[in-house]
Copies of this chain bind each other. A is one copy, B any other.
Amino acid sequence: MQREAPTLAHVARLAAVSENTVSRVIRNKGPIAEETRKRVIAAIDSLGYVPNRAAGSLASSSSLIIGVLLPSLSNIVFPEVLHGIHAALADTSYQAMIGVTDYDLLQEQKLLSSLLAWQPAAIVTTGFDHTDTSRRMLEQSGIRIAELMDIDDRPIDIAVGLSHRRAGRESARHLVGRGYRRIGYVGHDWSADRRAHFRYEGLRQGLQEAGLSLAAEFRFEGASSTMAGREALAQLLGGGHGVDAVVFSNDDMAVGGFMHCLGAGLAIPERLALFGFNGLDIGQALPRPLSTIRSNRFLIGRTAVEKLLEARERPTEPQIIDTGFEIVDGATA
């Protein structure tokens, strides 16, 4: 029924040229007479020829694959990064091949190794934490590497993201500027989330620069979630530290905190101010939009891929691309 898929040879015969010429037309490489190009394209169309990528990869020892390693898919942040990656890939012939590490560096290493088996054109991964073996594989592969989200360290090739330390510091400055003095922190387990830790440190630094320190803090044992934020804020307030504002490790946690306040009848921001991080939609859809910091995840993904595709060779010096952040001046702080 389904006759064999047409190959270069079929196209070449139909267009009465050599295989190599067809290949060059397809890859837009080397000089081609306009008339020949037309004939080849007509042949391709009439046969419905689709190049076999495996053969191409093998022959050229490089592929049109972009390997993407994400720590998680259940945190909306990473699908948004992935969305940006796809936006940049949309009009190219590149395809994203995804691996999910579950925040596990050994898993990252394993996935990295199987991604490299496809000889991808580039690898996009997250953060600067890698096993020594992963780092060696990344370095020796020679291909372009982007490390996303964070820019507070030295990348292998390029880093695209924002300074979480600075973001934390700006949270402090914003709240202090608004007149809050007894500022608390509600976070989640940051053993797997180094960036949340950086923001926390930035927050403390910012407070210190204003002559203040954290009035109270509570860290939920486990991953961040709306539920976690809700429970954690209840815990923090139960401590009776008289805080007037709370910085959350991210928006998910902050939205949970908002829900707790609604349930407990605490006026926001009069009784308690709330401040998040990420700038998720859900925070902006609350009855009072959440005050937070927008982290531009989509932009991070898109910029990273754009930069990677700009040049096949790594720059001589590692590059850092700061996609920045903005204070979202909501109504909760």
Interface residues of A (CB under 8 A from B): 1-2, 50-55, 57-58, 63, 65, 73-74, 76, 78-80, 82-83, 86, 90, 93, 95-100, 113-119, 140-142, 225-227, 230, 255-256, 259, 262-263, 281-282, 284-287
Q: State the CA gap A317–B82 with chains docked (Å).
A: 36
Q: State the CA gap A95–B285 with chains docked (Å).
A: 36
Residue pair A83, B73 in contact (C-beta under 8 Å): yes
Q: State the CA gap A181–B95 with chains docked (Å).
A: 51
Neighbour of A255 across the interface among B50, B115, B262, B285, CB < 8 A: B285
Residue pair A281, B82 in contact (C-beta under 8 Å): no
Q: State the CA gap A90–B282 with chains docked (Å).
A: 30
Q: State the CA gap A44–B211 with chains docked (Å).
A: 59
Q: State the CA gap A82–B80 with chains docked (Å).
A: 13
Sample of 22 A–B contacts (CB below 8 Å) = A1-B140, A2-B140, A50-B114, A50-B116, A50-B117, A53-B117, A54-B58, A58-B58, A76-B76, A86-B98, A95-B114, A96-B98, A97-B97, A97-B98, A98-B98, A225-B281, A226-B282, A226-B284, A227-B281, A255-B282, A256-B285, A259-B285
Residues of B within 8 A of A227 (CB): 281, 284-285
Residues of B within 8 A of A97 (CB): 65, 95-98
Residues of B within 8 A of A98 (CB): 82, 86, 95-98
Known: A96-B97, A114-B93. A226 touches B74 (CB 8 A): no
Residue pair A262, B281 in contact (C-beta under 8 Å): no
Residues of B within 8 A of A230 (CB): 285
What is the CB-to-nearest-CB distance from A27 to chain B, in angstroms, rounded to a whole number? 14
Known: A53-B117, A80-B73. A282 touches B282 (CB 8 A): yes
Nearest B residue (CB) for A83: B73
Residues of B within 8 A of A63 (CB): 54
Q: State the CA gap A286–B255 with chains docked (Å).
A: 9
Residues of B within 8 A of A79 (CB): 73-74, 76, 78-79, 82
What is the CB-to-nearest-CB distance from A30 to chain B, in angstroms, rounded to a whole number? 22
What is the CB-to-nearest-CB distance from A328 to chain B, in angstroms, rounded to a whole number? 15
Q: Which 6 A-B pairs have the closest CB atoms?
A: A226-B285, A54-B57, A79-B79, A73-B83, A2-B140, A54-B58
Q: State the CA gap A140–B2 with chains docked (Å).
A: 6
Residue pair A53, B118 in contact (C-beta under 8 Å): yes
Residues of B within 8 A of A1 (CB): 140
Neighbour of A73 across the interface among B82, B100, B262, B284, CB < 8 A: B82
